[in-house]
Amino acid sequence: MKKTIIAIASTIILAPTLAFAGVEHDRNDSNNVTYTGPVEAISIDSLLADTGMFTEKDAVVDGKIVRQINKDTFVFSDGSSEIQIELDDDIQLLQPLTADTSIRIFGEYEGGKTPEIEVDHIQVL
């Protein structure tokens, strides 16, 4: 009787683990969509108009990386203004970025003492 109860309990506990053991969970292969149509980008000036401590909003900005501050923090310019950007660790590009490379960044703008955009995705233009 004890062996039967242990066998049933083990089956109930291990069944979900065994069911998912063969499933691949690769984020890079799931829903990899490349869109090349128009996107509504905003200017850095319009973002910097609201630098409140609790300001957070999605942002799409076109421009160039001007300089690097540290490993994942850069200064980004749209030609008229500059803002600090922070790149997510999972951003990978097939080509290196230079000061002349025009890019579009997608991320979240955060106001405060040092306003910045936390970049989720970069598109080379």
Sign of CA dihedral 125, 33, 94, 63: positive
Domain membership of residue 119 (yes or no) is yes
The pLDDT value recorded for residue 21 is: 57
Domain membership of residue 51 (yes or no) is yes
Expressed as residue numbers, the domain containing 112 is 44-124
| Amino acid in position 1 | M
For residue range 41-93, what is the model confidence (pLDDT) as tens digits? Answer: 888 888 888 888 888 888 899 999 999 999 889 999 988 899 999 988 888 77
Looking at the 3D structure of the chain, how many domains does it have? 1
Domain membership of residue 23 (yes or no) is no
The pLDDT value recorded for residue 45 is: 85
- Residue linked to tokens 């083990």: 10
Q: How far is residue 101 from each of residues 42, 50, 67, 86, 118, measured CA to CA in Å?
A: 19, 28, 12, 17, 19
Instruction: Write out the two tokens for 86.
Output: 């922070």
pTM: 0.66
Taking alpha carbons only, the member of 45, 70, 69, 80 closest to residue 59 is 45
Domain membership of residue 2 (yes or no) is no
DSSP 6: H
The secondary structure element, H or E, covering residue 3 is helix 2-20
d(CA 124, CA 97): 9
Domain membership of residue 85 (yes or no) is yes
CATH number at residue 88: 2.40.50.200
Top-confidence residue, 62 or 2: 62
How big is the chain by its Cα radius of gyration, in Å? 22
